Amino acid sequence: MISINNISKSFGNKTIINNLSLTIYEGEITFIVGSSGAGKSTLLNLIGGLDTVSSGEISYNGKNISDNLNEYRAEHVGFVFQEYNLITGMSVKDNIKLGLYYCDKEESIAEIDEQLKNLCVKDVNQTVETLSGGEKQRAAIVRTVCKNSNIILADEPSGNLDSENAENVFELLSGLKNNRHIIIVTHDMEKANKYGDRIITIKDGRIEEDYRSSEKTDFEKEVKSRGKKGRQNWKSVVMLGWNSIKLRKSRILSIALVIALAISSIAMAIHFSQSGNRVSQNVNVNYLESDLIQLFYPQTMNLGYKETPFEEKEVAHIQNTYDLKRIVPIYTEGNGSWFFNHESVIKDAVIKQIIVDDFFEERVMSNEIEGDFIAEEDEIILAEDIAEALFDGNCIGNKISLNDGAGNSIQFKIVGINHTVNAADEIYSFVSSNQIKKLLEKQIDAKIESNISLEKYYTEMVDMKTGFIYGALKETQGTEKILYGKEPEQAEELVVSSELIQYVFEGLGIENNYSKDDILNGAVSKDIITEIESQKLTINCNGLFEVHICGVYQSDEIELRCSKHLLNDLRSLEPTVLEVYAANTGSVTDIIKDIEKNEEYTAASQLESLKNNVGMQTRFFEISIILLGTIMVIISISMLASFSKISVMERKKEIGIIKSLGASDRNVFLTLWFDIAVISVAAMALALWITKIFMIILPDIMGDIAFIEYTYPIKYLLLIGVLFMAVITVYTMVGMKKLVKKMPALLLK
């Protein structure tokens, strides 16, 4: 029995139902009729729990339906709507099964085929949008029949049907009235008079007339609720979710792809930013040279990077002060470029200077070396790429020349080939440090004999408006004819030829109005000579030598002359870099700290340099990927916002239908969230594949840093993915929350 006690329903200032009371009994068909706007459909929605009363109470079997509208709709109410309210994209059978899921009556699923057959619905797997109007209405009635609802509410069930189908629908409803409450809203008085046991006329929200077509004596049966308390049914969520995915698959896939690119890009950006830090000391110490420290003096005003030499006493001090296995003097005089040549072919070289001893034999031969270690100073282990370029690979026993780029060379015998690509994506050619020293001594001799340079000594960084003074440097003979000044008496003194003095004027920025004859005849003023002699000059040749011009002698050659002592100092080659190997790899950091604190020179860890190099080389890719990730995040959020908004608008009616079938707010929320969950899972799966593809192709793109382990950044992918999904869930919940809370009547308008 349905008891309606003094109910009212208002929308704003307008009252639709006005203090109405009514009792409806099972076993009869009750028609509610009246003019448009009288409140018929509103009353039906209130009885069915699709909307709530503004005041008063509706009870079913003595229990207020407002106590749990979801349970009431799920367990006791079946709706037959004018618009059928079947869910697009789903089959007839799935639409009916959905109603059974919400009332926990899945045992009735077996009846669906039989009931549809009885009602002449031929194909149960046909999607509902392809059905005729009559078939749709019959399917809606089967949904109610299989649900075994105590209350069947029909709102204009024949409104969209032809007369034949309308007659069939009323015949069906009439046959279902036993032990049920059947309430029909209609304008069709002919059908009401023909099939109605009771006809209630509504006007202005009140009952104007309540008419029974025959006497009933057993209206007040007590009927116990046959339903169980509804529970969350995941089958309904999955069914509706996959239906939504099917209808919106292209949009969902595009959003998932954009989100996947965002996740993958951000994860890889973090991965690359950590590349330098992933250079592990657990990797072979000989390969990474993680025990190696480079020592060099910082750049000065007159000397460039790694141009200040180490004297013997400094090398001894380092050896005695720090816990080291080996010190290798590294010679880098000149432009630092090395070239191998064989016959007419030239190839850039990457040289690794070593000492020929047991320490380096063990170290070098731990690499992939074909052939033998260096036994004599004039032997070399050649890099594989050089061997391939100059000899087509087979070259052990052959000779090869190493050039300094300035026309000087030294020949080596090839005793081995190095096949190991080092951590900087290079292949070393191993040579004796002493042989490099000999090669650079040739360079210095050639430089002294043909083109030594003088330049001003600078104590601060200034704009160099003056040039250099070039000429051959020779030892004084004591027989020079001095035109101005005096012969060299100190090691730092030198004289210039009368032919070179013209260039001295220009190089020092001195105004020159003298001809060659004026210079030879002693016409240069004493003030100018004094100015030249007062200039502090330098020779940069294996270090910085401070000199000054003390005189001018007569000569047609462009040359300078100095003491034998200065020449010997210039020719005495010293290392400008020391490569020191720590006795204990773990002490490298402490040694560097001590050197930086106590010494004038700089200490750099080979491992740290490698990390920085990797960081610099990956920076472009890191920035590009971060930019891509940022763009993808913005696009994905925009697309997701648009998708959520459109999806919510598109699914209003669907949510109204399932709420009318008894879906709880939680069930509705999960149904709406299913799309987001699928997008999240699809995005994560795509991100994993996209990243995998990137990790396969990146070694080819970034070949110069192939040393990097292109490990799969699963940790970052999962972390970013989870965070992204959490943000998406929170973001979309806001739009869903309002829809979930709305009453079915409002959603179905």
Q: Is the pLDDT of residue 722 over 70?
A: yes
- Model pLDDT for residues 580-636, shown as the tens digit of each residue: 999 988 888 899 999 999 999 999 887 666 666 655 655 666 677 677 777 877 887
- Model pLDDT for residues 101-148, shown as the tens digit of each residue: 888 777 677 777 777 777 677 777 888 888 888 888 888 888 887 888
Per DSSP, helices labelled H in 17-132 are 40-47, 69-76, 92-102, 112-118
- For residue 340, the SS3 value is strand
Confidence at 234, pLDDT banded by 50, 70, 90: confident
- Do residues 312 and 556 touch, judged by C-beta distance below 8 A? no
- Bridge partners of 383, per DSSP, are 418
pLDDT greater at residue 567 or residue 730: 567
Q: What is the pLDDT of residue 7?
A: 95
Q: Is the pLDDT of residue 657 over 80?
A: yes
Q: In terms of C-beta density within 10 A (0-12 exposed, 13-18 middle, 19 or more buried), how is residue 144 classed?
A: buried
Tell me the average pLDDT across 421-432. Answer: 86
Task: Map tokens 């100095």 to a residue.
Answer: 562
- Do residues 386 and 395 touch, judged by C-beta distance below 8 A? no
- The mean predicted confidence, pLDDT, of the chain is 84
- Model pLDDT for residues 338-397, shown as the tens digit of each residue: 899 988 889 999 999 999 999 999 999 988 999 999 999 999 999 999 999 999 888 999
Task: Map tokens 């080291």 to a residue.
Answer: 324
Q: What is the pLDDT of residue 699?
A: 67
- The pairing of beta strand 324-330 with beta strand 577-582: antiparallel
CA–CA separation, 531 and 544 (whole Å): 22
C-alpha 460 chain-centroid distance: 46
Query: 607: which 2 tokens?
Result: 């491992």
- For residue 202, the SS3 value is strand
Question: Crossing angle, helix 652-660 and helix 665-701, to 10 degrees?
Answer: 140
Q: What percentage of the chain has pLDDT greater than the value 90?
A: 40
Query: 684: which 2 tokens?
Result: 């994560």
pTM of the model: 0.52
556 φψ region: left (φ > 0), alpha (ψ -120 to 50), beta (else): alpha
Of 12-26, 112-126, 272-286, 354-368, give the lowest mean pLDDT range.
Answer: 272-286
Q: In terms of C-beta density within 10 A (0-12 exposed, 13-18 middle, 19 or more buried), how is residue 167 classed?
A: middle
- Model pLDDT for residues 496-522, shown as the tens digit of each residue: 999 999 899 988 888 888 899 999 999
- For residue 136, the SS3 value is helix
Rg of the chain, C-alpha, whole Å: 48
- For residue 581, the SS3 value is strand
Q: What is the pLDDT of residue 221?
A: 38
User: Sign (positive/negative) of CA torsion 516, 521, 526, 532?
Assistant: positive
CA–CA separation, 747 and 83 (whole Å): 13
